[in-house]
Amino acid sequence: MATKPKITIIGLGVTGASMGLGLQREEVTFEIVGHDRAPDVAQAAKKAGAVHRSEWNLYRACEGAELIVLDVPLNELDETLALLKEDATPGTLYFAINSLLQPAIEIAERHLPAGVHFVAGHPVLTGVGGAPTQRADLYDKVVFALAAGPKTDPSALQLASNFVERVGATPLYVDGQEHDGIMAGVEQLPLLLAAALMRVSAAESGWREARRLAGQAFASASDMGDDAAGLFAALRANRTNLLYRIRRLQEELNEWANLLQAEAEEGKPHPLQTVLEKAVEDRLAWESQAVLKNWEERPTASTAGLETGGFFRQMFLGNLGRKPPTGGR
C-alpha cells in the first residue's frame, strides 16, 4: 500500500493549528503531522483535529515530509533549522511563517543545503474585533505575504502559493526587505512602544496605586505578548528599519507636544482637535477595510506567469522537480 504524502507543521499555536484545520476543509489525500515543544499544545491540536497525529520527536515528525511548515519565532527557527539541516532531503520545501521575512531567508541560507527549498510567509491577521482564535477559516481572504531568496526555485514559491490558497488566503509576492521595512512601522514599533509604556509605568513611584486604575486602554496599549526572547530576536533582526521608525516617531511626538501647548486662533478649532479628528478618520477607514478584507489600494499580486492548478497536482506530482521557465523566472 502506497504511503500518503506528508505535511509536517512545527508549532501548533493558533496560526499553526488553524493551518491544519484549514487544509482539511476539503477532502485530503495526505497526512498532516504536528510537532510542538509544549506537549499540551500538541495534544490540544490533535484533539481539535488540526493534525492527524502529533510527534514529540522533531526528527520523526519531519521524516519523509514533502512540505514542512515552521510556525516558530526567529530565534527558534534558527535552532530548528540547525537541528534539521543534516537530515534535510533535496526537494523538500521548508515554509517558515514569520512577521519578518528577510531574516528568515538569511537563516535558511545559513543552514539548508543545496536542493532544499525555502520560502518565508507572513499571514496578516489584523485581530480587529479581538485576538485571533484557532479555527479553520482563520485565513479566509487574509493577505499572505510570500518571499524567497534569490536561489529559490520558482516552483517552490508556486507550491507555497498553492498551500496559502488551500487554507483560504490570498498570496502576495513581496520583496523580503521591503516587507520588513513596513513591518517595522506597523507591527514592531507598536510592540516596542508597548514595552516602553510598561517600563515607564511600572517605574513610576505611584505605580502601586495606578495599577489598580489601569483598564482596557492600558491593557491594549501595553500588550507586547509574553515571549521576551522572541521579541528581542525580532527587534534586533530588523533594527535598522526599526531605528528609522523610532526617529520618525520622536519627531512626531515633538509635534504632538507642540499641539498640546498650542492655543486655538479665534474662530478656528484647536489644532490638536483637528489632528485628532484626522487620526480617528484614518483609523476608522483602516478598521473598516480590515474587517471587510477589502483593500481598495492593495497592490496586485503578480501572478500572471504562475500556474494556479490544484494543490495536489502541484505538490505531489513532481512540481518541485520541474525546471524553471525559460527567461529567468
Q: How confident is the model at residue 250 (pLDDT cuts 50, 70, 90)?
A: very high
Last residue of a domain, one of 261, 285, 307: 261
Which triple of cell numbers denotes residue 69?
A: 511548515
In a domain, 1, yes or no: no
Whether 327 is in a domain gets the answer no
Are 13 and 107 contained in the same domain?
A: yes
Q: Which domain holds residue 190?
A: 185-261
CB atoms within 10 A of CB 30: 19
With a CB cutoff of 8 Å and minimum separation 6, the contacts of 240 are none
The per-residue pLDDT for range 228-238, each reduced to its tens digit, is 999 999 999 99
Q: What is the mean pLDDT of residues 205-210?
A: 95
Give the residue from 209, 242, 261 where a domain finishes: 261
* C-beta neighbour count of 34 within 10 angstroms: 27
Residues 20 and 121 in one domain: yes
Cβ distance 321 to 328 under 8 Å?
no
The predicted-structure confidence for 57-108, as pLDDT tens digits, reads as follows 999 999 999 999 999 999 999 999 999 999 999 999 999 999 999 999 999 9
pLDDT tens-digit readout, 97-151: 999 999 999 999 999 999 999 999 999 987 776 678 899 999 999 999 999 988 8
Check whether residue 85 and residue 200 sit in a common domain: no
Instruction: Give the global pTM.
Output: 0.84
CA distances from 233 to 73, 78, 82, 188 (A): 8, 10, 16, 12
Q: What pLDDT score was predicted for residue 297?
A: 59
Same domain membership, residue 18 and residue 90: yes
pLDDT tens, position by position, 28-48: 889 999 999 999 999 999 999
Under 8 Å between Cβ of 271 and 264: yes
Residues 162, 51 share a domain: yes
Domain with residue 237: its CATH number is 1.10.3660.10
For residue 166, pLDDT over 90 is answered with yes
In the prediction, which pLDDT does 268 show? 92
What is the domain count for the chain? 2
For residues 86 and 138, membership in a common domain is answered with yes
Same domain, 121 and 208: no
CATH of the domain at 17: 3.40.50.720
C-alpha 107/C-alpha 102 separation (Å) is: 9
Question: Pairing between strand 143-147 and 117-123?
Answer: antiparallel
